[in-house]
Amino acid sequence: MPFLELTLPCTLAQQPRFERALEDVGALAVTLADAHADAADEQAIFEPGVGETPLWDELSLTALFPHDTDALVLLAALEAFDADLDWTRAGFRKVEDQDWERAWMDQYEPLRFGEHTWIVPWSHELPADADTPQAAVVRLDPGLAFGSGTHPTTALCLQWLDGLARDGRLAGARVLDFGCGSGILALAALKLGAAHAVGVDNDPQAIIATRDNAQRNGVEERLSVYLPADEPVAAYPVVVANILATALIALADTLAARVAPGGLLAMSGILAGQQDDVMARYAGQFEDLRADSFDDWMRVTGRRRAG
């Protein structure tokens, strides 16, 4: 069926309020894009992942509603929900049903991280280099919620896991993916040789997404997923946490307790300039701390002190 599409400009600061209002009045989907990007370069973000925000200061926000939605009634409902936002710049049009999300996803290509790790959309055939016994292939639908490998923070973590596998440090290991989102990092760890992975996230939708992705990738028996309140506390030889720097600092003691003595920790979601604060917070319990960058984002890694 066709849809009613609403498009409006907004700032990064306003985006959460606009999105809350749109969801409250029944938006079927919400997409964010750079307001100043050329169409050829533009990449949408469908429902940003847990703790993630777009990198752009000025956004173009698009929402879909059922085709029979009355635009004037919808606009009145939005103004009633949050009258302080400027809804006068909203534009409407009818769009035909062409599997709206799939049209975006089809723009994404298979991605390689390190030597062996591949993230391949379900809509694509395996590249020749990924169709080998050595390749660790995670099938995912990029562009959907919670993380697809396209963001630098996810890429940094995937590259780190690939390096651990290359050095033989993932083989048979138990891995914790703290803030798992789509489960992409846990899935990659399992495909790279980990024996078992645990995903933890405070968003129930992330739990559902991770379980679904684990099943579709054939590793559901080796992946356990929990909300924080349900998580069985344990220490792991490998822990990865792709969340925000402020959360990493606030959760330092919690994360440190999840890393076994001598175990390895990788943290991302850290903007350039924030890495020193993160490293200082973890320095008392971790050694060999280092920071690596990708675009404007950082990854901090370290080894849990034995004592």
- The DSSP bridge partners found for residue 62 are 7, 31
279-287 contact pairs (CB < 8 A, 24+) = 281/248, 281/249, 281/252, 282/252, 282/256, 285/252, 285/256, 286/256, 286/259
CB neighbours of residue 92 within 10 Å: 15
Q: Report whether 179 belongs to an annotated binding site.
A: yes
Q: Report whether 183 belongs to an annotated binding site.
A: no
Q: CA–CA separation, 30 vs 235, rounded Å?
A: 38
DSSP annotation string for 259-282: EEEEEEEEEEEEETT-HHHHHHHH
Q: Report whether 31 belongs to an annotated binding site.
A: no
Burial class (CB in 10 A: 0-12, 13-18, 19+), 168: exposed
Whole-number CA gyration radius for the chain: 20
CB burial of 57-88 (b: ≥16 within 10 Å; e: otherwise) equals eebbbbbbbeeebeeeebbebbbebeeebebe
Structure tokens at 99: 């599997």
Annotated binding site: 154, 179, 201, 242
Annotated binding site for S-adenosyl-L-methionine: 154, 179, 201, 242
